[in-house]
Structure 1
Amino acid sequence: MAHLYRPRRALAALAATAALCTAAAPAAVAQDADGLYGTTDPQYDGVWRTSLAMLAQDTAGVTPAKQAVAWLTGQQCADGGFAAYREDTAKACDAKTEDTNATALSVQALAALGGQDAVVGKAVTWLKGVQNKDGGFPYNPGGASDANSTSVVTGALVAAGEKPAEVLKDGKSPFDGLAALRMPCSAKAGEQGSYAFTPDKGKLYSNEYASAAAALAGRGTGLVVPPGADTPVKAPACAAAASAEDAAEAADAFLAGRIDANGGFLKDLSAKAPDPNTTAWATLALAAGGHKGAALKSYAWLEGNSAAWSKGSPAALGTLVLTAHAVGKDPKSFAGTDLVAALNKTGPAPSAAAKPQAKAAEKDDDGGSATVVWVIVGVGLVAGIGGGLLVSMRRKNA
């Protein structure tokens, strides 16, 4: 069926990723007083959800607790990378467990907070070291490049002051890696402009979550999207050698078309149920493309349909805070819910709550709001939020 994102094997890989962004983990743990956000098992998404929560707090004008920053920086491995979660940081990291998603989102958060140049620089060096020959990035070192990991790393590079187009492996940049995952012009009309997560036996299968991630990366931004213009979504003529901007615009047109067809939302990997996480990512992508009107359609759906998904989940709540920011809405007034207050309750008490409007304006003036959030691959489909390999997909627990 056209709506199936890919064959079973690829679906399983996506599900693993998706786990990151979702929130219902199997085992609950006592909230870590040292800085970990959320109460579910952090094995697959502790770093991801904590980074996402702090990034969202910063965007909303809240200063995360010092112990949260200390906890996150303490998760870094000696070589600069981050694993999904290290229960015992006294033990050396297993290089096989380090991943680009946890590392890249940590960079996003710590670069935004400031004062962590050494940690950020070391993490960026690690990320550059695991870039694939096609220019893209894998979830774990040595794996195949995927759209979500490449997107979150692209956002990390921008956040750290790098120019992604100049981060090359064998002459290819992250944008080249994404181009290889773009559906060809010969694809079905309803799939043109979209992206696959990663090739499956040499074939590409259209994926909405991957498309949203790729669109964000194509705009040179991450999860912190400054509120912008409102221009119509119009897909450019399909071209095999499209620029990153044109490719992102085509992906936006694909996403907007799917959202309109569904009545305001995107569906999960089974193509049967609404997926708040993928819908939120698409909202961010549309806003980043200057399509506020289109983004507000899916944002309105999220206001009325994301309560269960986001309850108590730092990753989901953080994603919604960032989504509200992107469309110029107040995250403290989200369908009667104060998302910022709810997010703050999932972790250690913030050090301070600044004036969100003043902080947002300050960042916009500097042109420095570029952070990304994405995918984590793991085990099993977790139901819950958005946010690691995540791909439709990340494994964020809340």
Structure 2
Amino acid sequence: MKIAILGTRGIPNYYGGFEQFAEFFSVYLVEKGHEVYCYNSHNHKFEEKNFKGVHIIHQHDPEYKYGTFGQFIYDYNCILDSRKRDFDIILQLGYTSNSVWFFLLPKKPIIITNMDGIEWKRSKYSRPVQQFLRFAERLAAISSDYLVSDSLGIQTFLKKRYRKDSTYIAYGAHPFNNPNQAILDQYQVEKENFNMIMARFEPENNFEMVLDGVIKSKDETPILVIGNHNTKYGEVLKKRYKGYSNIRFMGAIYNLEHLNNLRYYSKLYFHGHSVGGTNPSLLEAMASKALVLAHNNDFNRGILKENSYYFSNSEEVKNLLLTIKKSDNLQFIQNNFEAIVNDFNWEKINGAYLHLFEQCMAGFKNRK
């Protein structure tokens, strides 16, 4: 098959979950003998035209100049280019800025869209933007040939709202089995004597709920706040908590070995995400044998099931900090690790996507 991947900033990953998946999946497809193309931003750090056998197509991306509006131009450029390539399948990762150009997509390829989370529920967006995202979501749902949901909650939502079936395929993670305690010295923390929260700095990731709980608990254990805090919301949080020496804003950390070790040696790992599907950082925490304490919502419960403690407000965070010990919950940790090995491993996830592609090709042979 000749396959294109659209909707990311490009591979190898220097940004987020979709880019990580695109990197792993595209290389996997090449290894299986398929011809694969991935669209990259023109200002991506990787400037070559081939990555481990994957053809890289750089397209002009003015996001650096125009902000979010630039994403629409980038997707427009990618879709126009795809019309010249005679692809069999186009995999779109997300719909936020590419769905408005659906009428420009080439007619021959099968269009498969991973619908990501319920983007219009994100509180960072103004009401007009939320309304647009609902419109874009609808366009993607009705214009794609096949849909993929990365969580059972998203699958149920799409069926209820648009009466459209979707294939449930989660993300994956690599089991972490090589701890190196010496890495902790670089972050001035000690084994199981620090807590963590890691996410993009957005209100729906509930930093304030967790950090207010830390303050209420009067627990002096350091908590590492990991993510790019050089944002408007990040500045608000740094100002709000600047008087608390145990709340440490670490910035973004992209070194996966370091992140895995921090998660592995943490005392408690808070996962505050409340919107979206299967979050990659949650799977990576499970794969790193962290004790996960998660925001109480269907998305997180769908992954962690009974193998976590859940919180809905800062008072509950406070109580968890004062009562939960990692040493008392080794079975939770092991159960989550085994879920990665058995259910959320990359080989299985990649295989599920390839199987879907093969089914789609077989089903579309006589569509006209």
Q: TM-score, normalised by structure 2?
A: 0.29
**Larger strand percent:** 2
Q: TM-score, normalised by structure 1?
A: 0.27
Higher relative contact order (Cα pairs below 8 Å, separated by 6+ residues): 1
Q: Which of structures 1 and 2 has the bigger CA Rg? A: 2
